[in-house]
Amino acid sequence: MIAAIAAIGCLLPAACDVAAASTGYHNDWSGQGQQGGGRHNSGGGTKPTGASSGAGSTGANSTGAASTSAAASTNEQGQGQGQGEGEGQGQGQGDGQGQDPGATVAPTVDASATVAPTVAPPAGDNNGLDVLARSCDAKDPANKGLNGLDPHDGFQKAPRCVSTAFGEVAAAGNDPTLLITDSPRFVRPNTAFTLKVSTRNLVRDRFLGAAAGGYYLESSILTGPDGIQRGHFHTACRMLSSLRTAPEPDPVPAFFVATQDNGGSATPDTVTVNIDKGLPTRGIAQCAVWAGDGSHRIPMMERANQTPAFDAVRILVG
């Protein structure tokens, strides 16, 4: 019944697109920049409110695109197993009816519908796992998966091999999170608007300028006694050409700013991001925010099933 309703609801693709586009939006225009109390070269800006405090910021000259990764869900694997076993049993029983009692029916359980073991692997090198590489040392035979790339030097160049250690990761209860708490659904082109972003467990006091050679250069660092991530957060808006296919990753976004205002703590606070020149063209914009450590990587999490510190909305520009 639910599947039928969903199918009827999307008979008109345009209606589906409009519905998807009306979830909320924010835009940033051209360029890149870092925001705070110091210098920035983005049209947009950020203003901390609530518990956050304004202070100095470094210049933001970073223009890279954010990358994301997804981990397989054990719930999805469990679903696959249940479905495979259920369908196999049903088909086996149905096919067996009406046949010779002496005949046998081959099992139809999907062999791929299995759940990976959750027990710890045996101790030893790499926890008993087949690891392709753990460093950029191509001379080490253990790094069998390396492709012989040049070393990364802190500037925005790729493909390269980054040798910087991951660094410190916070405990699960101290891992950073953020949320876009307020954004417009509709804006006019080239018209200013604001986004409100709440962060938790993120001390916004570390930012190494990417254009200055600080990209992927510093390991992740936590605050001393509290174990809270030190870093900043990014805001970017890009115009989408389609709602049915993933966008190209390399174009410079219409707006970008990094916020390092010396605010933030374990207690949630709210920062206002100003997109003071708006978005340049009509269409649908995707505005995203994500936390970064001192060298712009999304902070690590204690567990694989924790959601990283990011959020995104869509805004109709017209």
Name the H helices within the chain. 2-9, 13-21, 74-96
pLDDT at 117: 54
pTM over 0.85: no
- 154-165 pLDDT per residue, tens: 999 999 999 999
pLDDT at 8: 40
* Strand 34-35, strand 255-259: pairing: parallel
Cα separation of 257 and 40, whole Å?
8
CATH topology of domain 19-66+169-317: Immunoglobulin-like (2.60.40)
DSSP letter for 179, please.
Answer: E
**Would you state the structure tokens that stand for residue 80, as one six-digit string?**
């696959």
Cα separation of 155 and 285, whole Å?
28
Among the listed residues 224, 290, 279, 289, the one whose alpha carbon sits nearest the alpha carbon of residue 255: 279
The residue ranking higher by pLDDT, 211 or 114, is 211
For the chain, the straight-line distance linking the first and the last C-alpha, in angstroms and rounded, comes to 37
Three-state DSSP state, 222 = strand
Q: Is pLDDT at 83 greater than 90 in this prediction?
A: no
